[in-house]
Chains A and B, each alone.
Chain A
């Protein structure tokens, strides 16, 4: 095990700090006395993943060995997490490929003929063939695609069945195939503490009817934060839905966790702390900075999105979902937790080029908000790193650019909805239904590779807690018109941004820089 996470104070000897700037990198000098929070070093991966997986399947937690649950003539459905995680995408072989191959091997030995492998993508977009192949591997792909290996279609009127309501009146739907199966196996990768557990099946194989029960502005305002399930209203709702699912279908969950070795060797400087940069890292940084300054956007995008992360499997457990998920979360927290003393007035962060919703596409302005004020802001336990009313400074080019194939409803959300109002509660009341029922978005979700019509709303609600908490948001290096359209302030350099922030938080503020990715969970005391 390497070093734990650290909080360093900037002094005169500290080298400049790396900021991600969308598809680019920058070096910035933070003022003296600022804190920089670093993630823990990546954990040592398991030496023999296949053996660990076989052991987990043979000795599950609070359930029977998988082999005993498989018999000839049964109907088996295996669901797995889609490509919204891990980020950046994992180098082959993906851990899900390793798990799926073991599961399929067992199914083959038991003589199970009727097997379907379903990507549990919920209201996310359908994955392309290459993307599915990247997750499941060549062997499974060539054997099962396309009749027995496919994406879940949440808008199929025949394929999604209402199974009931929870004690709080939340509707629960599940795919028809899952309900009719004798056993549903879920292969999960818990990348951040938000993933996994009951949320896997409740949202993954759900539909708009079930997802809208907890993907509301209200629920997300009360999730402080959704990266720490005990404090999250979102997860409480998912647990209720999941329990109803457990009562309806026989489930077997397999959960894996990976370390945070997020960048390939050529981009080691993004993984390492600045004080550890070797001359090779420095040269690498200079080369990549020139490339991203001079290359056209298409080239940059292709280069960045082709990066594959050499994650290592850190744990795998199988069996009953609650027991399994507690164990998984222990490992994930061990990898991710960093202790941070107290909140600050200003938090700075560089927004990376990829988030869960734009793999192989552009991070459009709405997704910049989702990443910065959503995911990255909420990576805390206890209290946010930023104090109430503080200023959040994000670095991203924030251009008016949208991927018309993956994000058609995002364009209309930006042009029509944000031009009217930015308050999540208002937006939900006035516009959500119209987008959710638009027949064209539905068609693109089902036939093309587009996110569901209602998805941009969820991206915006994800930031609801932050929007209420922060006093101001300043985007460094962003396109002025787009940043203003989002309701934020724009600055050309970090120094200007810090000066603008003083208007809100007063002179001599305390500053913390969150040096991510690699991701970490701030445990704020």
Chain B
């Protein structure tokens, strides 16, 4: 079958990093990516089914891995070679439209009793990711045994599959996985009605976090930091109260929270500030700003995947900030599965507005280059369209 594979190659990795992750090098023949004919993945046991992807999204974590910017922490948690792509809406053999929940927890791996996290329903934090029916991997799309979204066929355990309602088109359903991550983040953030919430960054994760916060934990005031005009429009539509640019974030947050502002040599800081901040850029600049405009004792939820970023820990220490990561999804405290919450909320959000150009798998070089500059090019989610691969 035709698939795009990611190989573990130290020289290729070194080359890509040396060029700073430039797209033309990172997607070239000398990189870790290879498009070709590979054997189909076989279902490792009963309860596993074949899925043919229709639309597969390109996520920030994928582009980080391709351009060598991902944290090396994730290397031991991955098995090579793997087919990337974990934002998958596809068809089963019998024609049912499904979306894949990529986390490979104890249930998927066929392990009993489940580890403590899987028992709580936090399958993203599974401790048994090295055991079981499939190879090492946190998710489908980082595992050598399962295949992934950027190929013709992949295999998934039935617990990973969710039916997609008819009124949700493929272009909207491909955003269900990131939306679920953001719903999980919003619930972890736990903003209350009197809070001022800042969502920093308005890419896919930022915009979906805005929607999730508005729906599940509506605050007193929702401030969104968005760089590009298309992002600003979407942020307003999805429920942001106040949309500001990255250069004015301190001034506008100061006004919204009636805080005091002190100007330092490198950056300002607020005495007071936002109650809950969702950091959705994963960049050093965003993190350093966020630790200074979140109020002392406030909560900083890191949603966007960061790499090895240089962050000043002084503010975190002095302001006694609660810095917490929000990764993946599972079963929330209310007992509902995150994906079910996402699927229920998605149809009203017109998410297909956010899905930008669709590329064929053969044009993966253009697709990845486009995804790396999505904001500037007025796009949010760039994806592969694999429907024409099905004969």
Total chain A interface residues with beta-carbon distance under 8 A = 9
> C-beta contact mask, B233-255 vs A, less than 8 Å → 1, else 0?
00000000000000010011011
Per-residue CB contact flags for chain A residues 411-439 toward chain B (1 = under 8 Å, else 0) read 11001100000000000000000100011
Residue B162 at the A interface, CB < 8 A? Answer: no
Q: Does B378 contact A (CB under 8 A)?
A: no
Measured in the bound complex, the distance between the Cα atoms of B254 and A452 in whole Å is 17
A443 at interface by CB-CB < 8 Å = yes
Which of A412, A434, A443 is close to B251, meaning CB atoms less than 8 Å apart? A412
Instruction: List residues of chain A with CB within 8 A of the CB of B248.
Output: 415
Q: Are B251 and A439 in contact (CB under 8 A)?
A: no
Query: Is A440 on the interface with B (CB-CB < 8 A)?
Result: yes
Interface 1/0s, chain B 243-270, versus A by CB < 8 A?
0000010011011001111000000000
A415 engages B252 (CB within 8 Å): yes
**Is the pair A440, B251 in contact by a Cβ cutoff of 8 Å?**
no
Contact A440 B252 (CB under 8 A): no
CB-CB under 8 A from B251, the residues of chain A are: 411-412, 415
CA separation between A411 and B251, bound complex, in Å? 9
A416, A439, A443: which contacts B255 (Cβ < 8 A)? A416
User: In the complex the two chains form, is A443's CB within 8 Å of B252's CB?
Assistant: no
Chain A residues lying within 8 Å of B260, measured Cβ to Cβ, are: 439-440, 443
| Inter-chain contacts of B255 with A (CB < 8 A) | 412, 415-416
| Bound Cα distance from A411 to B258, whole angstroms | 14
CB nearest neighbor in B for A412:
B255
- Complex CA distance for A439 and B257, rounded to whole angstroms: 11
Q: Which residue of B lies closest to A416 (CB)?
A: B255
Tell me the nearest residue of chain B to A409, going by C-beta. Answer: B255
- What residues on A are CB-neighbors of B258 within 8 Å? 434, 438-440
Residue interface bits B199-231, CB-to-A below 8 A is 1, else 0: 000000000000000000000000000000000
State A152–B259 Cα separation when bound (angstroms): 25
Whole-angstrom CA separation of A147 from B334 in the bound complex: 65
B256 — nearest CB in chain A belongs to which residue? A416
User: By DSSP majority rule, is chain B's interface helix, strand, loop, or mixed?
Assistant: helix
Q: Bound complex: CA of A438 vs CA of B258, how far in Å?
A: 6
Q: How long is the Cα–Cα vector from A416 to B259 in the complex, in angstroms? A: 16
CA of A212 to CA of B254, assembled, Å: 25
Residues of B within 8 Å of A411, CB to CB, are 251
CB distance from B248 to the nearest CB of A (A): 7
A416 to B244, CA, bound (A): 11
With a cutoff of 8 Å between Cβ atoms, the chain B residues found around residue A412 in the complex are 251, 255
> Closest residue of chain A to B248, judged by CB?
A415
Interface residues of A in 437-465 (CB under 8 A from B): 438-440, 443
Tell me the complex Cα distance, A415–B243, Å: 11
What residues of chain B lie closer than 8 Å to A415, measured between beta carbons?
248, 251-252, 255
Partner of B254 from the list A434, A440, A443 (CB cut-off 8 Å) is: A440
> For B254, what are the chain A residues with a Cβ–Cβ distance below 8 Å?
440
Q: Which of B280-296 contact A (CB under 8 A)?
A: none
A21 → chain B closest CB, angstroms: 28
Nearest opposing residue in chain B for A437, CB measure: B258
Q: Binary interface profile of B, 129-165, with partner A (CB < 8 Å = 1, else 0)?
A: 0000000000000000000000000000000000000
Please name all residues of chain A whose beta carbon is closer than 8 Å to the beta carbon of B261 when the two chains form the complex. Answer: 440
**Closest A residue to B271 using CB positions:** A440
Residues of B within 8 A of A443 (CB): 260
Among residues of B, the one whose C-beta sits closest to the C-beta of A411 is: B251
Question: In whole angstroms, how far apart are the Cα atoms of A210 and B282 in the complex?
Answer: 51
Chain B residues with CB under 8 Å of A439's CB are: 258, 260
CA gap between A141 and B254 in the complex, in Å: 38
Alpha-carbon gap, A439 to B270, bound state (A): 13
**Shortest beta-carbon distance, A449 to chain B, in Å?**
15
Residues of chain B contacted by A434 (CB below 8 angstroms): 258
A343 to B88, CA, bound (A): 72
Cα distance A440–B256 in the bound complex, in angstroms: 12
From B255, B259, B260, B261, name the one whose CB has the most chain A CB atoms within 10 angstroms. B255
Q: What's the Cα separation between A309 and B259 when bound, in Å?
A: 41
**In whole angstroms, what is the CA distance A74 to B44 when docked?**
101
Which residue from chain A places its CB closest to the CB of B260 in the assembled complex? Answer: A440
Q: Give bound CA distance, A285 to B251, whole Å.
A: 41
Bound: A412/B253 CA distance, A: 11
How far is B259's CA from A396's CA once the two chains are assembled, in angstroms? 34
Nearest chain B CB to A408's CB is how many angstroms away? 9
For A438, what are the chain B residues with a Cβ–Cβ distance below 8 Å?
Answer: 258
Query: CA–CA, A233 to B255, complex, Å?
Result: 33
Rounded to whole Å, the gap between the CB of A441 and the closest CB of chain B is: 9
Shortest C-beta distance, A414 to chain B (Å), equals 11
Closest residue of B by beta carbon distance from A413 = B255
Shortest Cβ gap from A482 to chain B (Å): 15
Interface string of B305-320 (1 = CB under 8 A from A): 0000000000000000
Q: How distant is the Cα of A439 from the Cα of B255 in the complex, in angstroms?
A: 11
A434 to B261, CA, bound (A): 17
Nearest chain B CB to A260 CB, angstrom units = 40
Q: Which residues of B contact A440 (CB under 8 A)?
A: 254, 258-261
A434–B256 CA distance with the chains assembled, in angstroms = 11
CA distance A415 to B254 in the complex (A): 13
CB interface residues, B 151-194, toward A, < 8 Å: none
A240 to B251, CA, bound (A): 40
CB distance from A137 to the nearest CB of B (A): 35
Q: How far is the CB of A402 from chain B (nearest CB, A)?
A: 10
**B259 contact set on A, CB distance < 8 A:** 440
Distance A443 CA – B261 CA, assembled complex (angstroms): 11
Give the one of A411, A416, A438, A440 with max B CB within 10 A.
A440
Report chain A residues within 8 Å CB of B252: 415-416
Q: Which 8 A-B pairs have the closest CB atoms?
A: A440-B260, A412-B255, A438-B258, A416-B255, A411-B251, A440-B261, A439-B258, A443-B260
Binding site for B on A (CB under 8 A): 411-412, 415-416, 434, 438-440, 443
Q: List 6 A-B contacts (CB under 8 A).
A: A412-B251, A412-B255, A416-B252, A438-B258, A440-B259, A440-B260
Chain B positions near chain A (C-beta within 8 angstroms)? 248, 251-252, 254-255, 258-261
**New A-B pairs, 13, CB < 8 Å, besides A412-B251, A438-B258:** A415-B248, A415-B252, A415-B255, A416-B252, A416-B255, A439-B258, A439-B260, A440-B254, A440-B258, A440-B259, A440-B260, A440-B261, A443-B260
